[in-house]
Amino acid sequence: MSEREYQVCTNCVMDTSDPEITFDENGRCDFCENFINTILPSWQPDERGFEKLQKLAEKIKKDGKNKPYDCIIGISGGVDSSYLAYIVKEKLGLRPLMLLIDPGWNLNVANENVFKILKSLNLDLETIVVDWEEMKDLQVAFFKSQVPYQDTPQDHAIFAGLYNYAAKNGIKYILTGGNYSTEGVKPPQEWTYLNDIKLIKDIHKKFGKRPLKTFPLCGMFKYKLFYRYVKGVRVIHPLNMVPYDKNDAIRILEEKFGWEQYANKHYENIFTRFYEGYWLPKKFGYDKRKCYFSNLILTGQMTRDDAIVELSQQSYDEKIAMQDLEYIVEKLDMTKEEFLEIMNGPNKTFRDYKNNEKLLKSAIKLAMKVGMEKRNFRT
């Protein structure tokens, strides 16, 4: 890749650490352009949205009559899914089953948050514990592959576990905490890539040691087509249909449930903390806080000046990073030397392995054309 001159967006904090970023003549980036021109016009986080959401809730109740649950929510203990549980139960009166997927890395504070919410809202929980030997094998394989996306094994298990559970148990509505208020600026493909089963399988085939017998897998076509049109599973994003300000949500969760905050979004999990705070910035120069802060800037929840100050500070205390590193390598049965050799080895991307990029991108392009996908995918 040719070296590009450093440039940062004049409106948000995305910059050329995303190799595919583009800027207009005013120095505004394509994430801003997409957010302002594609997401904002159809986003109704107000009374209009809530009215639509209430109508939808009536339909969900009707469809779920005589069933033990009318919908399912994957809960992590983080702000989004915790606040979603509150809205769905208290504001909409739905009967969700809560599903906790445990890939082996959840922090106690996150699990405690889950139990506080369940108890206060009187909700039922189902837990799926991912087979640790398989999880470990896939995670070590991913490290050895040298790709940036070390969150793929966990994220995929959590996502596929939820979708597979809903389809298998005849639950027609998946309610997710996905939202434009904090996740509308999607991390660039070079940083996170796509949900590509072909890549997962190829990396596992090259570097894994044991078969993935129970590990939850679900490709894009399975959930977008088979689950949607054959099994009739619908996915709804209620947080896009109510006012959702992160700080307000945190305050409500703390007051109502004794919910506890931890530093930074997604840091409910030791592995994610290490991956986002150490692996990605140190090995690849990618800082996911830039996406998150840009999103908060675009929605008026943070100023650009505050974001710049915060980005200049380390997100992750060096001492905690080293503790996490030792904990992680030990849990994965690796040595510190082995890990550091990988860390200092050549950086790779999905292009170094078998992948379905072309096919997936044509599908996303189509979804964007019909307005089903509004986030900034460069197809």
Choice between 9 and 72, CB closer to Zn ion: 9
Under the criterion CB under 5 A, does residue 85 sit at the interface with Zn ion? no
Angle of the 304-312 helix axis to the 289-298 helix axis, nearest 10: 170
Interface residues for Zn ion in 169-228 (CB under 5 A)? none
**Could you give the angle at the alpha carbon of 109 between the alpha carbons of 104 and 110, nearest 5°?**
60
Under the criterion CB under 5 A, does residue 12 sit at the interface with Zn ion? yes
Under the criterion CB under 5 A, does residue 57 sit at the interface with Zn ion? no
Among 9, 85, 329, 334, which residue interacts with Zn ion (rule: CB under 5 A)?
Answer: 9
Spatial distance between the Cα atoms of 379 and 275, rounded to a whole number of angstroms: 26
**Residue 218 Cβ, how far from Zn ion at the closest point, in Å?**
32
**Residue 371 Cβ, how far from Zn ion at the closest point, in Å?**
22
Question: Which window, 32-40, 299-307, 323-331, 334-342, contacts Zn ion (CB under 5 A)?
Answer: 32-40
**Residue 195 Cβ, how far from Zn ion at the closest point, in Å?**
25
Phi, psi (deg, nearest 5) at residue 29: -85, 170
Question: Which window, 11-19, 90-98, 275-283, 354-362, contacts Zn ion (CB under 5 A)?
Answer: 11-19
Residue 6: partners with Cβ closer than 8 Å, 6 or more residues away: 15, 16
**Residue 44 Cβ, how far from Zn ion at the closest point, in Å?**
23
| C-alpha torsion sign, points 299, 305, 306, 309 | positive
Q: Which residues of 146-170 are buried (b: 16+ CB within 10 A; e: fewer)?
A: bbbbbbbbbbbbbbbbbbbbbbeee
Among 8, 11, 271, 276, which residue interacts with Zn ion (rule: CB under 5 A)?
Answer: 11
**Residue 34 Cβ, how far from Zn ion at the closest point, in Å?**
9
Choice between 31 and 244, CB closer to Zn ion: 31
Under the criterion CB under 5 A, does residue 32 sit at the interface with Zn ion? yes
Residue with the CB atom nearest Zn ion in the bound state: 9
Among 18, 21, 23, 29, which residue interacts with Zn ion (rule: CB under 5 A)?
Answer: 29
Structure tokens that stand for 278 in this block: 């150490």
Residue 304: partners with Cβ closer than 8 Å, 6 or more residues away: 11, 12, 13, 297
Q: Are 232 and 166 in contact (CB under 8 A)?
A: no
Under the criterion CB under 5 A, does residue 138 sit at the interface with Zn ion? no
Contacting positions for Zn ion (CB under 5 A): 9, 11-12, 14, 29, 31-32
